Amino acid sequence: MQVWDCTAAVSDFEGNLLFYTNGGQVRDANFNLIENGDSLNVGYLFKNPQQGYPQSNTMLVLPSTQNKNTYHILHIFFDTCSVSLVCMKQLRHTLVDMSANNGAGKVLFKNRPILTAESMEYANAVRHGNGRDWWLLTPNYREASFHTLLFNDDGVQDSFLQVIGYKPDPVQFRDGGGANLFSPDGTRYVDFDPRNGIRLFDFDRCTGLLSNFKHITFGASLPIGSQAVFSPNSRFLYVTASSMVFQYDLEAPDIAQSRDTVAVWDGFYSPGPPFATTFGLAQIALNGKIYIAPNNGVYHLHYINYPDLKGDSCQVVQHGLELPNVFARAVPVLPNYRLYDRHGSPCDTLGINGPPTVSLRPPPDAPRLRLYPNPATNWLVLESALAPAQPLRLRFFDAQGRLALEREHPDSVRSWGFGIAGLRAGYYAVEVVFADGARAWEKVVVQF
């Protein structure tokens, strides 16, 4: 099948592909159509599901919290619009069970409407503070309002309309692309488009409410197809504007004035003119980099090496990833699946905890060790005061508790130097595991 703007793929915990979809069909890892996996979103405008749904940012997948084999596909369907461009859209629910048919999978139901609204924009999701449910949020691009749905394995549990923010100019109310997204830590929400600017909100994962609205304008419209994406540490917002990439510091006293141009298109074509590798849709990957798709069908992607760093230190690498096939805007919508409960909050009532919070204070009886230099750049040395070969491994956890690097300790070495070039700049808790089961913690700062 063909894949255009709309795409999603799901893998198991070991990284093995389970299924993928182009917004029209659902196929398994062997490229076979899953039972009942045809005709998603088919209507007057979209007739051939094998060709792929032509709208980006309109589909996401949420895993079940009760069954590791079940996945919820949430997708926006629209068919016809009036002369005034007012569209009746539906947010739809399709359920996939990958344990059916001996692991070949089956779509249990599809195209089930869970929200029908005039002028609905892109939907996105963030984990509820209880660590189990999800908040689904989609704005009305003609009004200063947002549809909010509380969703879990039993479907929509609650919904409400919140009036907040900025009502777009009626002359240019259509977004013309853009993005609606949550920060990785779940504390912020951005409603962005190239005509009406950045609408920034705080978000409460317990109540689902937006607050503290800020409006950042551009002065002039950006090109159609511009996109926004948060840095992994949620501090910076990047805006791709065809020939440029901007960085905004969301912790600056004046966010609009903090805008920094961190990349200007270098004139590269792939494979040649007129296929320019401009800057379009963007997404964070698990390695902490941000990947940017050009606005054309090309063989290359850009990426931001260190998106948590300010200014040019973020290092935008243009057309740095070469692909085996033509790629055209098919960037998935990826909620932060590794965001769990809001620990200690009033809504943290289910006992569903994410990865344990890393303590930076070693226990009193921890084995004596030393990590240096600190701060470090691309190299560290471990010295242990205990017998040689007792340390077994080192595990580096970033500020969000994610495992970022693991190193095995060589035998019979008391002083051990090793490379850390794969780590991004930031603070890390380093767990040292010893042969007798003891553990020690150290804090390391990595900078460049």
Q: What is the pLDDT of residues 296-347, one digit of tens each?
A: 999 999 999 889 889 999 999 999 999 999 988 889 999 998 888 888 889 9
Q: What is the mean pLDDT of residues 62-70?
A: 90
Q: Does some domain include residue 135?
A: yes
Query: Where do we find the tokens 């035998």?
Result: 411
Same domain, 265 and 399: no
Residues facing 434 on adjacent strands? 391
- The DSSP 8-state label assigned to residue 219 in this structure reads S
Same domain, 158 and 74: yes
Residues facing 394 on adjacent strands? 407, 432
Same domain, 303 and 379: no
Residues facing 156 on adjacent strands? 151
Same domain, 190 and 269: yes
Q: What is the pLDDT, as a whole number, of residue 446? A: 86
Q: Does some domain include residue 395?
A: yes
Q: What is the mean pLDDT of residues 226-250?
A: 94
Same domain, 393 and 285: no
What percentage of the chain's residues is helix, strand, coil (to nearest 5)?
Answer: 5, 45, 50
Examine the pLDDT at 391 and tell me if it is beyond 70.
Answer: no
Structural domain boundaries, residue 412:
369-446
- The full DSSP string for 321-387 is EEEEEEE-S-PPP---TT----TTSTT--S----SPPPP-S--TTPPPEEEESSSBSSEEEEEESS-
Same domain, 264 and 376: no
Number of domains present in the structure of the chain: 2
Most confident region among 41-45, 219-223, 314-318, 398-402 by mean pLDDT? 314-318
Q: What is the mean pLDDT of residues 121-143?
A: 91
Q: What is the pLDDT, as a whole number, of residue 177? A: 65
Q: Residue 418: which CATH number?
A: 2.60.40.3080
Q: Does some domain include residue 352?
A: no
Q: Does some domain include residue 40?
A: yes
Closest to 26 in 3D by CA, of 34, 17, 18: 34
Q: What is the pLDDT, as a whole number, of residue 354? A: 63
Q: What is the mean pLDDT of residues 398-406?
A: 81
Same domain, 284 and 430: no
Final residue belonging to a domain, choices 327, 354, 388: 327
Q: Does some domain include residue 359?
A: no
Same domain, 108 and 246: yes
Q: Does some domain include residue 174?
A: yes
Q: What is the pLDDT, as a whole number, of residue 356? A: 43
Examine the pLDDT at 51 and tell me if it is beyond 60.
Answer: yes
Same domain, 284 and 181: yes
Q: Does some domain include residue 353?
A: no
The model carries a pTM of 0.79
What is the C-alpha to C-alpha distance for residues 265 and 269, in angstroms, rounded to an integer? 10
Least confident segment among 137-146, 292-301, 403-412: 403-412
